A and B are shown apart, each in its own frame.
Chain A
Amino acid sequence: GQSLEQPSEVTAVEGAIVQINCTYQTSGFYGLSWYQQHDGGAPTFLSYNGLDGLEETGRFSSFLSRSDSYGYLLLQELQMKDSASYFCAVTAGGYQKVTFGTGTKLQVIP
Chain B
Amino acid sequence: ETGVTQTPRHLVMGMTNKKSLKCEQHLGHNAMYWYKQSAKKPLELMFVYNFKEQTENNSVPSRFSPECPNSSHLFLHLHTLQPEDSALYLCASSQDPLVTGNTEAFFGQGTRLTVV
Chain A residues packing against B (C-beta within 8 Å): 4, 30-31, 33, 41-45, 48, 50, 87, 89, 91, 94-103
Contacts and interface: CB of A to CB of B under 8 A. Distances in A.
A109 B110 CA distance: 28
Interface of B: 2, 4, 31, 33, 35, 40-43, 45, 48, 50, 55-56, 90, 94, 96-98, 101-110
A92 B94 CA distance: 15
A91 B104 CA distance: 10
A50 B101 contact: yes
Contact of B102 (A33, A100, A101, A103): A33
Given A91-B97, A98-B103, 16 more contacts: A31-B97, A42-B2, A42-B107, A44-B2, A48-B103, A50-B101, A89-B43, A94-B56, A96-B33, A96-B50, A96-B94, A98-B33, A98-B45, A99-B42, A100-B35, A102-B41
A97 B50 CA distance: 11
A100 B2 contact: no
Contacts of A99: 42, 45
Contact of B104 (A45, A94, A100, A103): A45
